[in-house]
Structure 1
Amino acid sequence: MSALPDMTQANVTVIGDVMLDRFWSGASRRVSPEAPVPVVNVTGLEDRAGGAGNVAVNLAELGVAVSLVGLCGDDEHARALRACVESAGVRWNVMPCAADTIVKLRVLSRNQQLLRMDFEEPLNDHANDLFLRYAQQHLADADLVILSDYAKGTLQLVQSFIAHCRERGTPTLVDPKGSDFERYRGATVITPNLSELEAVVGTCDSDTELVQKTEALRASLDVEAILVTRSEAGMTLVQSDSPAQHFSASAREVYDVTGAGDTVIAAMAGCMSAGLSMQEAARYANHAAGVVVAKLGTASVTPAELQHAVAAGTAGQPSGNLSITDTLSELESLRAAGKRIVMTNGCFDLIHPGHIHYLQQASALGDVLVVAVNDDDSVKRLKGPSRPLNGIEDRMAVLSALQAVDYVVPFSEDTPADLIETVGPDVLVKGGDYTVEQIAGHEFVLGRGGDVIVLDFVPGHSTTGLIERLGE
């Protein structure tokens, strides 16, 4: 993953349900004599932007120029919400209406939420053609539009917004709500959480079923991609033109998931508007989510926090396989963060204990292990027409699932010498009875001041021997 992209030239408009998130906090040392509930001595009050407002604040925190469009009342809560938004650098373009501003009041004690009270009324009647025309005025300069749906009624005419953006060629990212995803037909990306997705496509009992059902939904809705947030299981990105990507959760500690979806779509949008691919943007969004759930209440992520999360290690890396371009981009960032990159190669046709031991040893020589794998034609040239037993995608999938392995990349040549020069590892590793001089790429690595190391294989374990025993 490359260094954090410069988002300061990006311009994003957020349209959706705005609300005030209000937090009362204090100590709780006794139970009420009136009912079996704790008594909180409120000593703190804090207001934060919620809903679409939190999305906008997250974008502004990342350096994006952002405009917020929605509906609210003409009341004290609207003024408090506006103060929160504008103090973060967001342009306030929220249209006042006859309804009261939506408020979500949370009572906390010792960093634990004890109670939430919602003050709201539907906004559907106010999300009319007048509001549509008003909102469209603020789309002219947008590089990208986020539609943040909290089912409060602001996006009653969401199809009109999507159609308008498609006519202008402006990408739209939608954070959906409810079970009628047909409303979001034609959007660029939608970002449901797993429960929201399953409410539409049914229960997904495996990653394979999840991908299949998500792809079917994506195609039926004519959207380019669906990014599914899956709590402790991470995220899954399903695109129209690429294999599905699974991202493992990057959070170390989870204190509060309030607004985490807002952070995901904001980071995704900010990165896309800065020119990153959907895969790269999704990886940053995954790291951003890992940061924000470690904070209490509605929160945002700073560029420094996001960059630190990316550079801290390989947590949150996709458990699928990246393109060589994306892999090189991520390795560049890891190298800049001082990580020691180890590389090895092989056919890895049938993974056995010898492979596991060898890869664990290789991984211990640095911080990041890159495994280059011969593609099917390359294996046939080296091993004969009956090999490989497992195709390249299957072999890469097995390797990427190993804890010792961080990245897996294929190569089609007889040796990985060209790929080694492209990756530029600090350590080049090979197993078996090779000498350093016999290892492809050794001159390049040694010439850069790197190390070339030969590791012993575990006796009695080899793919050829395993095949022979299976044939007996």
Structure 2
Amino acid sequence: MTIAVPAFDRARVLVVGDLMLDRYWHGETSRISPEAPVPVVHVGPAEERPGGAANVALNLAALGARPLLLGLTGDDEAADTLERLLTPAGVSCRFARLPTHPTVTKLRVLSRHQQLIRLDFERGFAPADAARIAHDLSDCLDEVDVVVLSDYGKGTLAASRELIALARSQGKAVVVDPKGSDFGRYRGASVITPNRKEFEAVVGRCADDAELVARGSALIERELLDALLVTRSEEGMTLLRRDEPPLDLPTQAREVFDVTGAGDTVVAVLAGALACGQPWPQATALANLAAGLVVGKLGTATVSVPELRRALFAHEENAFGAVTEARLLEAVAEARAHGERVVMTNGCFDILHAGHVDYLAQARRLGDRLIVAVNTDDSVRRLKGDARPVNALEHRMAVLAGLAAVDWVVPFDEDTPERLICAVGPDVLVKGGDYRPEDIAGYGCVTAAGGEVRTIDFRYDCSTSRIIDAILRARGEDA
């Protein structure tokens, strides 16, 4: 299965659900209170982050999407803070403010990265309060392709079945992050995404994978779902669909620091990928990758497109070495997102020798990543005659890819690599020999973009032509 990071700026997603403000107070503890057997925390830095459905929307915005966000809040300072945090991030907030209720707020007190206590400020919303959400949702459906219902059991989604039916009647996919033991409330959704504990609270304990699949498939039929995605912590995820084999994905987490908000990230990436037209397996695999990243962060957090790309490359065998032009452009974008300086050079590299190795090592020291563009066999023949190349393109690329100095090797078929160089836009363009920088193919577009064009001296005691001549002389043939 090929996984790619889509252009999330095309994702039109509406998030509806329970809005929360997560607050974090950090401080040192060095003594126990004389008033009670509890630690005394000297409060220092404080943080505020959107939580619940707001964190789903923030995750989408972090990917480059422009989500709409509907939900119930109080008419208070916490709601103002939520808007202040979300709007600059690219979230369009359409809160239904109720003066009779506080905005749901969770305050966590931490010391040395350990949570000491959590204080919740909330009063559940009544069904009558939630009724206005259906009207607001109806007004937004023409603007989106996918609807997310993020249920934290605070009352905003009391009419969830009505919301699902309304969205599906307009041809919108509905992704649900469920809460509670009544999944009938989500009948007709495109997919629900319970964790294993939530899933087994509804269908009963599953002794093995076969039982999980059987009970999950029965749930799909009973609740008229298109799919079911069960997140399984250290065991990864399982995607079940009608008339399709189960898809089991192992966890991608390298370390687990905090699972807070991981479900929000899964739902956001899944919904965003579906909105971009990705098939279920690819969208799920991308969500699984994102979950592995976010659990390595403290508190409710998000992942970015560069982080996804870097993780994707880290898990792919063809992340480096010989690549296509399309893959190279993705790799360069990912490298730039992490502040890496990209160097590029080109040549035939027909018979690799010590001069080439020295030249490429020098080029690599000019930046963090080195691209070597290699003439195809036809291109070499046009430049050097029918007797060349000695080594076929795939062999030349394989040898170059094995050098420690080289990150990516990419072929080009033109007589010069100018088009490819301009597409890549390296920070440094390098050529060997006696070229003047302004005569090097790609000079104009590289310098226009603020890059450098450099030359490096060759070792003139090494050359492919000399090696060929020496071989022919040894065989008694005319060079």
Residue 394 of structure 2 aligns with which residue? 448
Aligned to 1:26: 27
Query: Which residue of structure 2 lines up, in the alignment, with residue 81 of structure 1?
Result: 82
The more displaced of 222-231 and 133-142 is: 133-142
Contact 2:130–2:155 under 8 Å retained in 1: no
Q: Deviations over 1:285-317 (max 9, x none)?
A: 111011101000110001111111111126xxx
Identity %, equivalent residues: 49
C-alpha distance in structure 1 between counterparts of 2:67 and 2:128, whole Å: 23
- State the AA in 2 paired with 1:448: E
Distance 1:188 1:163, change over 3 A: same
Give the match for residue 158 of structure 1: 160
Report the Cα distance in structure 1 between the residues aligned to 2:15 and 2:261, rounded to whole angstroms.
15
Q: Report the alpha carbon displacement of residue 207 of structure 1 after superposing the two structures with TM.
A: 1.2
* Equivalent position of 2:59 in the other structure: 58
* Alignment-derived partner of residue 133 in structure 1: 135
Give 1:195's match in structure 2, choosing from 197, 214, 219: 197
Paired with 1:250 and 1:31, the residues of 2 have a C-alpha distance of 40
Structure 1 pair 110/132, CA: closer, same or farther in 2 (3 Å)? same
Pairs within 5 Å for 1:232-311: 232-311=234-313
Tell me how far 1:58 sits from its aligned partner.
0.1
What SS does the corresponding residue of 2:266 show, helix, strand or coil?
A: helix
Amino acid at match of 2:93: W
2:266 alignment partner AA: V
* Residues 338 and 165 (structure 1), Cα distance of their counterparts in 2 relative to 1, 3 Å cut: farther
Q: 1:33 Cα deviation (Å)?
A: 2.2
> What amino acid is aligned across from residue 32 of structure 1 in structure 2?
S
CA distance in 2, matches of 1:181, 1:101: 26
The 5 Å alignment of 1:67-466 reads 67-97=68-98, 98-313=100-315, 334-338=317-321, 448-449=394-395
Q: What's the RMSD between the two structures over aligned residues?
A: 2.0
Which structure 1 residue ranges, 5 or more long, are not aligned? 315-333, 341-445, 452-472
TM-score after normalising by structure 2: 0.66
What amino acid sits opposite 2:15 in the alignment?
A: V
C-alpha distance in structure 2 between counterparts of 1:99 and 1:253, whole Å = 39
Aligned partner letter, 1:3: A
> Which secondary structure does the structure 2 equivalent of 1:65 belong to?
coil
Q: Distance in 2 between matches of 1:339 and 1:239?
A: 36
Distance (Å, rounded) in 2 between the aligned partners of 1:115 and 1:138: 39
Q: Is the 8 A contact 2:21 2:48 kept in 1?
A: yes
Question: Does the CA-based 8 Å contact 2:11-2:273 persist in structure 1?
Answer: no
Query: Is this contact kept in 2: 1:144–1:170, CA < 8 A?
Result: yes
Asked whether the equivalents of residues 107 and 118 of structure 2 are also in contact (C-alpha less than 8 Å), the reply is yes
Deviations 1:53-109 (A, max 9, x none): 000000000011100000001001111111111121100111111211100111111
Aligned-pair distance for 1:166?
1.1
Partner amino acid for 2:27? G
Deviation of residue 130 (structure 1)?
3.0
Question: Structure 1 residues 120 and 337, CA, compared in 2 at 3 Å: closer, same or farther?
Answer: farther
Larger Rg: 2
Are the equivalent residues in 2 in contact too, given 1:151–1:177 (CA < 8 A)?
yes
The match for 1:456 is none
Write the letter of the residue equivalent to 1:335. Answer: N
* Structure 2 residue aligned with 1:428: none
Distance, in Å, in 1 between the alignment partners of 2:322 and 2:126 is: 52
The corresponding residue for 1:440 is none
TM-score (norm: length of structure 1): 0.67
Native 8 Å contact 1:23 1:108 kept in 2? yes
* Aligned AA (1:91): S
For residue 339 of structure 1, report the CA deviation from its aligned partner: 8.1
Determine the C-alpha separation between the residues in 1 that align with 2:186 and 2:322: 42
User: Residue type of the partner of 1:280?
Assistant: Q
Asked whether the equivalents of residues 141 and 170 of structure 2 are also in contact (C-alpha less than 8 Å), the reply is no
CA contact (8 A) 1:127 1:157 kept: no
Question: CA, structure 1 residues 285+128, in 2 after alignment: closer, same or farther (shift >3 Å)?
Answer: closer
Q: Which residue of 2 aligns with 1:45?
A: 46
Distance of 1:261 and 1:339 partners within structure 2 = 36
In 2, distance between residues paired with 1:207 and 1:177?
23
Contact 1:100 1:120 in 2 (8 A): yes
1:50 Cα deviation (Å)?
0.4
Amino acid at match of 1:9: R
> Any stretches of 5+ residues in structure 2 without a counterpart?
324-391, 399-479
Change (3 A) 1:132 1:311: same
Alpha carbons 2:289, 2:311 under 8 Å: kept: yes
Partner SS for 1:20: strand
Q: Deviation of residue 20 (structure 1)? A: 0.5
Q: Secondary structure at the match of 2:34?
A: coil
SS in 2 for 1:94: strand
Is the contact between residue 127 and residue 156 of structure 1 (CA under 8 Å) also seen in structure 2? no
Instruction: After TM superposition, give the deviation of residue 144 of structure 1 in Å.
Output: 0.3
Q: Which whole-Å CA distance do the structure 1 matches of 2:248 and 2:185 have between them?
A: 26
Q: Could you give the per-residue CA deviations for residues 148-175 of structure 1, whole angstroms, max 9, x where no partner exists?
A: 0001000011111100111100000000
